[in-house]
Amino acid sequence: MDEFNTPKSMNLRRRGIYLLPNLFTTGALFAGFYAIVQAMNGKYEYAAVAIFVAMVLDGLDGRVARMTHTQSEFGAQYDSLSDMVSFGVAPSLVMYEWALKGMGKLGWFAAFIYCVATALRLARFNTNIEIVDKHYFQGLPSPAAAALVAGFVWVMLDYGYPVDSLRWYAATLTVFAGLSMVSNLPFYSFKDITMRKSVPFLVIFIAALFFLLVFSYPPGVLFGLFLCYALSGFVMWYLRRRKPIA
């Protein structure tokens, strides 16, 4: 018998597959931790980029788990704890160290609103995962909120604006992101988009243009995209209210 097809080797392969999605989660957790460390060292641009890296890795772990059929309760809980660090603690501390520290109590209060809102958002998501509409998130997703905060830091640093003139804007954006997470506003989830179905050539072309646009100026484009996404929930809520009841 081939030594690579023995029951022992098959079991090792299965264990390795189950480990794979959790490695992506660990990578996202490390990126969030790295963002905190860089913020403490005053390297805010590195910190902001690390949060975006965490967002990419967080998006991959679930997809890898579904593709390899390795979803587990452990993975779900580990992912939630990682999200709290990468998209809750890290963005609030980065924003606090960069702009809010000089505002005294108001600064750490704004940062804490964001942090606790992330915890509440994740707890609500975990308890309502089986009953909510799969096409829409209830409240702004924590990765998108983190990208909004980190994107603001990144683009303002890139333009070289003095932080003293941005403190109130930073506080307002931080509180806005936090309150949006715990709101009941609908945000499109993109979960009905699948890679397994064929798509028109135009879709591929638009996707290529999208990536080209992002790489042309990452700070501004990413911040603009996530700002539009954060506002889309309010637009969707307004349109639903105006829709006549049958």
For residue 62, what are the contacts with CB-CB under 8 A and spacing of at least 6? 21, 79
pLDDT reading at 130 higher than 70: no
Looking at residue 76, its pLDDT comes to 85
pTM of this prediction?
Answer: 0.86
Tally Cβ neighbours within 10 Å of residue 214.
13
pLDDT reading at 13 higher than 50: no
Looking at residue 226, its pLDDT comes to 96
CA distance 65 to 76: 10
CA distance 2 to 53: 41
Which range (36-50, 120-134, 197-211, 225-239) has the least confidence? 197-211
| Percent of the chain topping pLDDT 90 | 61
CA distance 244 to 134: 24
CA distances from 55 to 27, 61, 79, 105, 230 (A): 10, 10, 12, 29, 16
Q: pLDDT digits over 110-127, tens only? A: 999 999 999 999 999 888
Torsion sign, CA atoms 121, 126, 130, 131:
negative
Residue 47's closest CA among 87, 81, 91, 80? 91
CA distance 27 to 2: 34
3 pLDDT band, cuts 50/70/90, is: very low
Structure tokens at 128: 């309502």
Q: pLDDT digits over 141-199, tens only? A: 999 999 999 999 999 999 999 999 999 999 999 999 999 999 999 998 877 666 566 66
| Residue 208 φ/ψ, nearest 5 degrees | -65, -40
